[in-house]
Amino acid sequence: MSISVLGAGAFGTALAITLANARPDITLWARDDSAVESMCTERVNALRLPDAHLPEALGITSDLTKACQAEIILLVIPTQRLAAFLETNAALFAGKILVACCKGVDLATGLGPTATIKSKVPSATACVLTGPSFAVDIAAGLPTALTLAGPSESLKDIQSELSTPALRLYRTSDVTGAELGGALKNVIAIACGAAIGAGYGESARAAVMTRGYAEIQRLAIALGAEPKTLAGLSGFGDLTLTCTSQRSRNYSFGYAIGAQTSFDPNQTVEGAKTAEAVSNLAQKHGIDMPITRVVAAILANKLNIKDAMEALLARPLKEE
C-alpha cells in the first residue's frame, strides 16, 4: 500500500525519511509551496530538520489531492488543528486508512485523535501512532519503537506497512490507553521541566514523574484503558523520555516557565492545551489530578511555580 505523510514539521519529515529509505512509494505533503520547492531542490528540510537528507525516492508535494491518493495517510497535524483539517478535506480522506501522529486531547470536544477522525470521516479506518521518539533519531535511522493502536481486524497489515528496519511498531487495539498515555505524559513533562527550571532538583522531578504516572493511570483506566498499555511504550516509555530530555519540547517549555526564560513560540507544545482539556475531563469524571490541575493553572497565569510547588507539597499525607 502506498503511504503519504501529511505535515512537513520535524516529526512528519522524519517519518517520511525513514519510510522512504525502506520503500519507494512515499510522499511528503507540505502546505507551503516555497518550502516544497526548496526541499525538492536541496533535498533537506532546512527549517525543521536541517541535518537530515531527504531520500531521492521521496516524493514531495504541496498538492493535497495528489498526496491523498495514497492508501495509508499519516496525519502529522497538531491535535488542536486536526478536526478543522479533516472537516475541510473530508472528501479526500473518505475510505482511507488514517493514522494520527499527534498526541493530545481536543480542547473543544474532549476527543482524542482517533475519535476526532471518526467524527469527521466516518468511513475512514482510524489509528494512532504514538510512543517515545525524537524526530532527529528517527531521521538518522536510530532504533525506535512505537505503539500503533487501532481496530484489530486491520492492524497487523498496517503495522507491517509502516515498519522499517529501524522503526519497530508494536500493535494494540487499546486506542484509549495509547492515546491517553501519549497525551497525558506531555502535561507531566511540562511539570517536570518547570521543577528543574525553578531549581527544585532531580529528586523533585522523580517525584513529579512518579505521581504524574499515577494520575495518568487514574484517568486512563477510568476511561477504559488497559493497565498494561499504560506500562508500555505509549505510557511509561513515552513518559520517561519526555520528562528527562532537553530535546522534549514539552519539557523544555516547562523548563522555560520554571527558569522564567523565553521559549520559541513557533514550537508546537501539545501539552499546553492538553493540560486544560484534561483538567476539564478529570473534573467531569471526578478524577483527582493535582499535577495536571496545577499545570493548567500555571499556564492560565492563575498560579506561579513557587505557589504551585507549595500547593502540591501541602497535600494530605496518605498511603502511596
Residue positions annotated with a catalytic role? 185
Spatial separation of the C-alpha atoms in residues 316 and 29, rounded to whole Å: 51
State in Å, rounded, how far the first CA of the chain is from the last one.
49
Spatial separation of the C-alpha atoms in residues 62 and 38, rounded to whole Å: 12
The pairs formed by 260-264 with CB atoms below 8 angstroms and a separation of 24 or more are 260/197, 261/197
β-bridge mates for residue 130, sequence order: 147
203 backbone dihedrals φ, ψ, rounded to 5° = -65, -40
